[in-house]
Amino acid sequence: MPPVTLTIEALTLFAGAVAGLLGAMLGIGGGVFLVPFLNLLLGFPYQAAAAISLTTVIATSSSVSAARSGRHLINMRLGMTLEVATAAGALLGGITAQEMSQSTLRILFSIVTALTAVAMIRRMTRRNVILDPDVSPGRLGGRFHEDESGGWVTYQVKRLPLGLAASFIAGNISSLLGIGGGVVKVPVLNAWCGVPMRAAAATSAFMIGVTATAGAVIYYGQGRLIPVLAAAAVVGVQIGSWGGIHLAARAKAKWLKLLMAIVLFVVSATMLWRGLR
């Protein structure tokens, strides 16, 4: 493991800022950028990179959800129901991650990164389906005001067991790989559970704080978290995502998404190559 010098600290802070900026602009967590940076470029063990990334995921989830609260985008009841599954998955993933080999984790990461890239390309042209605003949201559904169309969107939650299963897997890979796991949950909630894209993304981001905490506490307790680098990464990500939120309102995200999807494919291929070697 490389020594934690001032240069390494500064690089981590800078990488965190870039990850936070891109994450906020693309609507994904910064973990997919931060983990390969720490593991492949700086040479920290996979578990150390995952632990640092998880702390930034908690900070991002907390600040994003705080900013969104009061706008009904977060479906709290659905989130708290699915958290039962994500937290259990994260606890299990956190236990197994301590024993897994670096090459297995890298190959898993490569697969999930490729999926993230595919999801990002598909989202470029997707719009929310117009739903009947008079339908009853039921016990777990929700209702929010959509700024783009200017109308109210009401939805019911369907196929809850499927949502719970996806959440369990999301929690599991979150702890194993050091990412939020939104890439697994959001498409399932949107495509199969009837949750509109924006509500699915906001609810997932809300849940991720608890999910990542279940994993991060294990790494922290086991002494796998390097406190100084976690501090640098969290501060960096907070600065970056603050900037990203302000930029995202102006920038056209479409081409950025395509560009970043290509970057993610490259990251995925590199991780796979390094994992198989």
> Burial, 1: exposed, middle or buried (Cβ in 10 Å; 0-12, 13-18, 19+)?
exposed
Give backbone dihedrals phi and psi of 56, rounded to 5 degrees, phi first: -70, -30
Whose structure tokens read 């009853």?
136
Tell me how far, at minimum, the Cβ of 264 lies from another protein, in Å: 27
> Burial, 3: exposed, middle or buried (Cβ in 10 Å; 0-12, 13-18, 19+)?
exposed
**Span 145-204, contacts to another protein by CB under 8 A:** none
Pattern 38-57, another protein, x by CB under 8 A:
-----------------x--
Pattern 121-140, another protein, x by CB under 8 A:
---------------xx---
Strand partners, 155: 142
Closest by Cα among 59, 116, 121 to 253: 121
CA atoms within a 13 Å half-sphere pointing along the CA-CB vector of 63: 18
Closer by beta carbon to another protein, 241 or else 268: 241
222 contributes a contact to another protein by CB under 8 A:
yes
Among 34, 58, 183, 199, binds another protein (CB under 8 A): 58
Tell me how far, at minimum, the Cβ of 163 lies from another protein, in Å: 14
| 6 Cβ contact list (under 8 Å, min separation 6) | none
Closer by beta carbon to another protein, 125 or else 136: 136
Q: What is the spatial distance between Cα 104 and Cα 261, in angstroms, rounded to a whole number?
A: 23
Among 2, 3, 6, 277, binds another protein (CB under 8 A): 6
- What letter would DSSP give residue 129? P
Closer by beta carbon to another protein, 143 or else 198: 143
Stretch of 33-41, 227-235, 251-259, 264-272 contacting another protein, by CB under 8 A: 227-235
SS (HEC) of 132-145: CCCCCCCCCCEEEE
Q: What is the spatial distance between Cα 49 and Cα 201, in angstroms, rounded to a whole number?
A: 25
**Span 83-102, contacts to another protein by CB under 8 A:** 83-84, 87-88, 90-91, 94-95, 98
Among 1, 2, 7, 70, binds another protein (CB under 8 A): 70
Tell me how far, at minimum, the Cβ of 15 lies from another protein, in Å: 15
225 contributes a contact to another protein by CB under 8 A:
yes
| 165 Cβ contact list (under 8 Å, min separation 6) | 85
81 contributes a contact to another protein by CB under 8 A:
yes
Tell me how far, at minimum, the Cβ of 79 lies from another protein, in Å: 10
Give backbone dihedrals phi and psi of 2, rounded to 5 degrees, phi first: -65, 150
Tell me how far, at minimum, the Cβ of 155 lies from another protein, in Å: 12
Closest by Cα among 108, 78, 110, 95 to 196: 78
* List of residues contacting another protein (CB under 8 A): 6, 9, 13, 55, 58-59, 61-63, 65-66, 69-70, 72, 74, 76-77, 80-81, 83-84, 87-88, 90-91, 94-95, 98, 136-137, 143, 209-210, 212-222, 225, 227-228, 230-232, 234-235, 238
